[in-house]
Every structure is written in C-alpha cells, then in structure tokens.
A = this chain, B = another copy of it.
Amino acid sequence: MAQKPSIPKGTRDFTAEEMARRNYIFDTIRQVFNLYGYRQIETPAMENLSTLMGKYGEEGDKLLFKVLNSGDFLRAADPKLIEEGNTARLAAQICEKGLRYDLTVPFARFVVQHRNELQFPFRRFQIQPVWRADRPQKGRYREFYQCDADVIGSDSLLNEVELLQMIDEVFHRLGIRIAIKLNNRKVLAGIAELIGEPDKLIDITVAIDKIEKIGIDKVNEELAEKGLSQNAISALRPILEINGTLDERLQQLATLLDSSETGSLGVEELRKVCDTTASLGIRAAIDLDVSLARGLNYYTGTIIEVKALDVEIGSITGGGRYDNLTGIFGLPGVSGVGISFGADRIYDVLNTLGLYPDSAAASTKVMFANFGDKEAEASLSLIKELRQAGISAELYPDQAKLKKQFAYADALAIPFVAIIGENELNQKQLTLKNMNSGEQTPVAFGDIVSKLNELL
C-alpha cells in the first residue's frame, strides 16, 4: 500500500461529529446576527496581494500565503532578485494573489469597492476561513474560521450596546458563562496625557496589560526601562488601583482623568455604553479594565474582550470601534465598530464543559436493517414516509450480517434500529429497537411515523 496521504501541517479535516458541533456554533452565532439585523456577505478566499500587503505589519506580510501566478510566472521576475536570493521581493513579482489573512481588510476593501450599492449604516456579518503561515501549535492553526459582525457608517454608541447584547445572547444560547471586559482607547490616551507621556501610549499599555500576570512592581520596572519618569510612574499608580463597583470605578476614573479632554470623553462613552446596556438588562458581568488594549493601533474608541468564566483559555471574543477602517483604501472618515467570535476557542470551551445539546450530533434518527430485496423495498417505503415527516432515516444498503449492521448503527449513535424480517413483512409490522435501552417494540407499518414522533 502506498504511503498514507496527509494534509498540510496546521490544517484540519473535520469529521461528521466535529462538523455537527461546529455547525451548532456557527448556526447559533448566525441566528443571533440575523436577529439583530446584521446581513451576511462573503468575499473570495484569494485577494490581490496589493490589497493585503502592508496591512498587517512586516511580520504579517511574511505570514500571508501567496498564490503562484499561473503559466510562465518567471516572466515578471527580476533575474537580479533570483541571483541575490531576495525571496521577499521576488515573491511579490511571481505572485499577484494571496489568501485572506483576516476578514477585516477584505471587508474594508468590499465596502470601498461596493460603496455605491451599500446602505449606510451597513451592518454586516461574515463567517469564513482565514489563512496564516504561522508556526502551528496547540490551538493555533494555519486555516481557521473567523465570525465577524461590524456596523460601519454610524458613530452612535447604541451600536456598542447592541454588540454587547449580541455577545450576551450568543453565549447564553451556547450555555457558556462569560465576563465582558470593556475599555476605551480615549481613556488610554487620557492616561498617557495625564502622566505627561502622551507619546508613550503604546509602551504604557503594553506594560499595564501584564499587570494581572506580573504585578504592579514588575510593571513599574518595565515602564522605567521604557524611559518613563518616576513622576509618571507614580502618577499612573492610582489609576491602576481604582476599585469598587463598576459605577464607583467609572467615577474614580472620571475624577482622575478630569484634566484630560480626551480621557473624559472616553469615560463618558464607557458610562453611556454601560448604563444603556444595564438598563436594557444583560446576563453577563460587564467590567471595566483600564489595562485592556487589544489591537491598540487600530481601535479608536470602545474596546471589548470576552473571557469564559469556567475554562482557562484566552479571549473567546473581542472587538472595538475604529474610525478609519476604509482609509487604507482611500475612503476616509467612515467610523465602525465590530466584534469577532473565536469559533475554535468556543469549540474547545464547549468540548471541555460538555455543553453540546443532543441536536449537535450528526445523526440519522432511525436505521432500517437490511434483510434482503423484498424487506428492503418495504423499508424504503416507510423511510420515505419518515423523511416526509422530517425524520432523518436511512436503510443499511447491503444485506450484510446483522451484527455488522447493528455495529454500524451503534458507532454512528443512531438511536433506533427498525427490523423488518420475513415475519415482520408478512404481518406488516416492524420491530423497533431502542439502541440505548435495548428495548424492542413491535410497531405496525402504519404507526411508524407517529411512534417515532412520540419517541424522539
């Protein structure tokens, strides 16, 4: 036998059992997105490299999967680059296309390209795979799905409120207990301003992001290393130490950032989002986290992060407001806010907690055993009736040993097996075996639909 075939590292096959579970997650998310008036779009897997390059930083450019031009791809290649072994520049000459690295840049491209056909505010969602030439490791894949919802062309904070409601609803439906952390880029800017280091915003947020892990003293050491004055570090301390209820902390933050116009605006935005969300009622705990800074270079207002309460795993959903998504493609001044569900991590959380409902099993409800041609034909008639009634049913197609047929039903977790042998055929009744309890019940042919409706 030839060598067993394999797939590229970092990619996955999904078996029927895995697909049923993944579909359960995607369907749940899709239903909530639809309920909130978000509309699904799809973009091609391949984008022009000119669309993708330079959008994810130098490191990101390296992680793009590039698609070799068809035909004589060397024609456009500079021999000097080949000689020098300058593969980075050469790649750009022999590849015009690349695989989608995320859903955000293609979405921005989509909005600019279709702006005359779109209605703004544009609420869109997108559930598609993305590809990254990252080093594969546990929980990190080279092909994985993203589930993004964004609304662009509106700067109303009610959009943030709705996105929080959507997060709350999705995880409620999935049965996952979560905490939502909020911050605001303007608050971070206000803090940097307040302590007199407005240019060190990134160093500050990178450092304080680690406070839970390494403690405030180590954070202060790191800030000193980055060149922050002791004055600045001392001024930062009370901000990191605010405490009490959400309301109390927002109040303390407002007082501390009173002198910064930007910072005050940030606190005000946070308060409006928290108050409106609370007044509408939300199940998840919402918390302020001034150290939260995800995608800092990108977000300009609200920042959102979701953690599972019962499983140790990174963020399972994140998002925020950006003011210039489409600027990179020449359409400035379009504000948007969005969230992204991490389907692979949500999958892991549901597996860990065993939270899949029975409906997330890919399964025929009843298999008819095959005793031969005549019995099979009678079975097919009954199976037709069952399917018309919406009950998934199948005939074991071959007249194999009964043991093998039952093993098949067992392995596929099919809950009922219908047996029609010669006797049953003559009496126009079948024996219905419950594969869990082993119980066998005689059922007249005419009663099979109602009987299974009753049992399922």
Contact = CB atoms under 8 A, between A and B. Distances in A.
Interface string A33-68: 011110111111111101100000000001101111
A380 B119 contact: no
Contacts of A364: 37
Interface string A62-85: 110111101111100000001001
A114 interface: yes
A348 B39 CA distance: 22
A44 B5 CA distance: 14
Nearest to A2: B330
Interface stretch (A105-113, A202-210, A445-453): A105-113
Contacts of A6: 48, 113
A50 B70 CA distance: 18
Contact of A143 (B19, B44, B50, B121): B44
A65 B62 contact: no
A15 interface: yes
A40 B19 contact: yes
Contact of A13 (B113, B330, B395, B397): B113
Nearest to A134: B70
B45 A73 contact: no
A437 interface: no
Given A4-B113, A67-B67, A156-B397, 7 more contacts: A6-B48, A7-B44, A45-B45, A46-B131, A46-B142, A65-B67, A68-B94
Contacts of A70: 62-63, 65, 133
A39 to B, nearest CB: 3
- Which bracket fits the contact residues of A? 35 or more
A40 B66 contact: no
Interface in A412-426: 412
A188 interface: no
Given A35-B390, A67-B66, A119-B411, A23 B44 contact: no
A44 B12 contact: yes
Contact of A40 (B1, B23, B281, B380): B23
Contacts of A45: 11, 45, 99, 129, 131, 143
A365 B20 CA distance: 29
A142 B390 CA distance: 36
A428 interface: no
A109 B119 CA distance: 44
A44 B330 contact: no
Given A2-B329, A72-B85, A113-B13, A151 B7 contact: no
Interface string A1-37: 1111111100111111001100100000000001111
Contacts of A218: none
A117 interface: yes
Interface string A141-182: 011000000010011101101100100010000000000000
A96 interface: yes
A381 interface: yes
A456 interface: no
Given A44-B143, A119-B411, A280-B380, A67 B16 contact: no
18 contacts: A4-B330, A5-B51, A5-B109, A6-B48, A11-B45, A12-B44, A13-B43, A13-B44, A14-B43, A16-B40, A19-B40, A34-B362, A35-B393, A39-B412, A45-B143, A154-B397, A154-B398, A158-B395
A293 interface: no
A45 B132 CA distance: 12
Contacts of A96: 8
A310 interface: no
Given A42-B19, A380-B161, A8 B47 contact: yes
Contacts of A237: none
A154 B394 CA distance: 14
A157 to B, nearest CB: 9
Contact of A66 (B48, B68, B121, B155): B68
Contacts of A47: 7-8
A45 B14 CA distance: 12
Contacts of A411: 119
A376 interface: yes
Contacts of A362: 34, 39-40
